[in-house]
Amino acid sequence: MKIEHIKLSHATKKINGTVQLTGSKSESNRALIIQALSHGIVNIENLSDAADTEIMTASLQLAQQNPKDTIKTIDIGPAGTAMRFLTSFLTLAEGKFILTGTERMQQRPIGILVEALSSLGANISYQNKEGYPPIKVEGGFQQIKSEVLVQGNISSQYISSLLLIASSLEKGLKINIQGELTSRPYVTMTLDMLKEAGVTHKWSENAIQIDAQNFKHTTIFVEPDWSAASYWYSIVALSDKGEILLPGLKEKSLQGDSAIIEIMSHFGVKSHFSKEGLHIKKTEAISDKTLFDFKECPDLAQTIVALTAALKRDISITGVETLKIKETDRLNALKIEIAKFGAELITEGDIYHVKTDKVYKPDTLTFDTYEDHRMAMAFAPLALIFNEVNINEPEVVNKSYPAFWDHLQQHGFQIEK
């Protein structure tokens, strides 16, 4: 039975223990594409159990079934990464495909990626609105050139999608990036994982070159998810006393969201690594920093905005323009939700200011999630500040962190469904 909302509270406001996070969704989805392109010689360990990763796994299995005369329809639901990565992957698969998703997915642009692939010789057409899913992809195209130009200030997933198939193209691929690159760590993650699987590259100034080459036999171990870790940083920061161990996280991580270590040091959360993993602890060492740039880690922005609004700490954020085309318009969603307890999100060009002088403490707060997993997990920790927090459509967390509510219960949160 679908759960419409849950009620959260926490009696002691004290947090202590260990949280075993699922594998990174970002790493898992890249690893699955690499494994499929390698025809199975690349193995994967610690694959994420997130719904997005399960969707990617099922979609790849369907795409690789023996081609038939009929067109295969692949519905990726709300999985944005799957939409971007499969758009490129299917151009190399055998057969014809309709790639579609939820109503929201059909509002998220795919035109820049389709244009780049089409310029290489791929046969892709729109089934409804120009520039948006659903799309028809005919696999097995003949490559007509080996260079593409892509804007750097759009979703880095477009670039990663092209990089993942580059070594499997007859002529290889050179991607020329125009302008400043947004979410650079995600592109670096893709290249590092390809390198782990035997695919080398050259990155000179604004151009990335990958020659045609074969994958090698290897096993990719997927690190736990730093995006998921960010919610525990928020929980520790909002607690009266908090200390958590997150096993398996690496000091030198491929994931850009490991930036949460530095960001949360300004909110009194100290981090240190041991052989067991990452230890985070609440301290009194809070800085007066006010401007935070999320250009390289945009998925952390919701966590920090919700946190600072609840702490009554004014900050400004930048580097978040891509949030408008995520699962929802995340900037607008944040503005609506923090207003429920008096906080404001004010736009000034590409800078957004969180203002908290009017923040108050209602007896009960109900937050909407907008079909967005990160909205649910960013606002749930506020149950440590407000007496009762309700989260609508809580099952959206299955997209990236299915065990989230169970983990909260294990650490003292009372949850009523």
Catalytic residues: 299
- Residue 285 CB neighbours (<10 A): 11
The pairing of strands 72-75 and 267-274 is unpaired
Beta bridge partners of 73: 98
Peptide bond into 134 cis (omega under 30): yes
Beta bridge partners of 75: 100
CA dihedral 311→313→314→315, nearest 10 degrees, is -90
3-state DSSP of 320-373: CHHHHHCCCCHHHHHHHHHHHHCCEEEEECCEEEEECCCCCCCCEEEECCCCCH
CA-only gyration radius of the chain, Å: 22
The continuous run of DSSP H or E covering 306 comes out as helix 301-311
57: CB partners within 8 A, 6+ apart: 32, 47
DSSP 213-229: ----SEEEEPPB-HHHH
Beta bridge partners of 135: 99, 126
Q: Using CA atoms, how far apart are residues 266 and 268, in angstroms rounded to an integer?
A: 6
